[in-house]
Amino acid sequence: MTTVRCGLIGHPVAHSRSPDIHRAFAAQASIALDYVLIDAEPGEFPDRVREFFADGGRGLNVTLPHKAVAFALAEEAGDEAWQSGVANVLTRLPGGRLRADNTDGIGLVRELTKNLGFDRADRRILIAGAGGVAAGIIPSLLAAKPREIVIANRTPDRAARLVKHFENQRLAAIPLPDLRGSQSFDLVINATSASLEGKRPDLPDDAIGKATLACDLVYADEPTPFMRWATALGARTADGGGMLVEQAAESFLLWHGIRPDTVSILHHFRSRLQSD
Ligand code: ATR
């Protein structure tokens, strides 16, 4: 059996769960996979990517802080990457051309619909954060025609720029303080990196109601400050573990032509998180 080389490039990458997830998918699909971690600082990213593919690599997952550069480096792109301008997957096509995709949005949508039973149509969605993660999930969220998506960011200009980029009437930027007194949202997504610093975005309590689903896109072995806050206000919560597994499954499909069964892997992944 030929071994296929794939990997994750970012900075930092040491604590990533992606190797575990991809190796479990490969075992399930009987594919011989070598999944490597590449820690690349921003200045060395393009060279490390070229080196990986020149050495016969098939695909790279891309994480912070390289998602925008990954998109710019590719010669072809899937719809979600085109629309958002950020990519979390690079694939070497036959002939050597490089393709960029963004599977974060479809990963989140699968987690919402399949695993959490949330239907996005005609719903009010609030996204906290306006960085690469927020940009990546917007096309897939818009595709289901929600009633509105509001973006609120600590730095309001960035949220306004993101809204301008998409030019969609369902999308609006609102400064955080202006959310006070608002009606609660059906879905509140924490797309900031605040959880990584043990903090939460400064959203007002009004954003959350008893029927709200509050999703942190960061995965953790215990509830994040954002999840604890939302739980205290009566919301149902989820972390980013499901989205991580689902976006990885979409990358796996792009590289190997097989979509893994994510249910058993998600279970395995959660038990690994608990035992580490
Ligand atoms: P990513 O690709 O993860 O989105 P990013 O582009 O650095 O990374 O964006 C991080 C996001 O988290 C931004 O929206 C950032 O807000 P600013 O634009 O104001 O910097 C947000 N963020 C990070 N730490 C935060 C905190 N402690 N509270 C609120 N928002 C935070």
206-227 residue pLDDT tens: 999 999 999 999 988 899 999 9
Domains (ranges, CATH) in the chain? Answer: 4-102+242-275 (3.40.50.10860), 105-239 (3.40.50.720)
Residue 273 has what pLDDT?
66
Residue 1 has what pLDDT?
77
Q: Among 16, 192, 229, name the best residue to mutate to test ligand 1's pocket (greatest count of ligand atoms within 8 A of Cβ).
A: 192
Is the confidence at residue 245, as pLDDT, over 90? yes
Is the confidence at residue 36, as pLDDT, over 80? yes
Rounded to whole angstroms, how far apart are CA atoms 98 and 96? 6
The minimum-distance atom of ligand 1 relative to the CA of 133 is 4
Q: Whose CA is nearest to atom 28 of ligand 1?
A: 201
Residue 221 has what pLDDT?
85
Mean pLDDT across 173-191: 95
The edge-to-edge listing of strands for the beta sheet with 98-101 is 33-39, 4-10, 59-62, 89-92, 98-101, 76-77
Mean pLDDT across 221-244: 96
Ligand 1: residues with CB < 6 A are 64, 67, 129-134, 153-155, 158, 192-194, 197, 199, 201
Q: Whose CA is nearest to atom 5 of ligand 1?
A: 131
Looking at residue 103, the DSSP 8-state letter turns out to be: -
Is the confidence at residue 190, as pLDDT, over 80? yes
- Burial classification of residue 257, based on how many CB atoms lie within 10 Å of its CB (0-12 exposed, 13-18 middle, 19 or more buried): exposed
Q: Whose CA is nearest to atom 25 of ligand 1?
A: 194
- Per 3-state DSSP, the chain is made up of helix, strand and coil in percentages (nearest 5) of 45, 20, 35
Catalytic residue check, 67: yes
Q: Among 108, 154, 179, name the best residue to mutate to test ligand 1's pocket (greatest count of ligand atoms within 8 A of Cβ).
A: 154
- Sign of torsion over alpha carbons 62, 65, 185, 266: positive
Q: Are 225 and 60 in contact (CB under 8 A)?
A: no
* Predicted model pTM: 0.95
The minimum-distance atom of ligand 1 relative to the CA of 132 is 2
Using the mean position of ligand 1's atoms as its centre, give its distance from the Cα of residue 113 in Å.
26
- How far CA 34 is from CA of 22, 130, 174, 251, in Å, comes to 9, 34, 45, 15
Mean pLDDT across 189-200: 95
Q: Are 208 and 232 in contact (CB under 8 A)?
A: no
Q: Whose CA is nearest to atom 6 of ligand 1?
A: 131
Tell me which amino acid residue 101 is.
D
* Mean pLDDT estimate for the chain: 95
Mean pLDDT across 113-134: 94
Mean pLDDT across 63-82: 97
Q: Which has more confidence, 211 or 119?
A: 211
- Residue of 67, 114, 145, 199 with catalytic role: 67
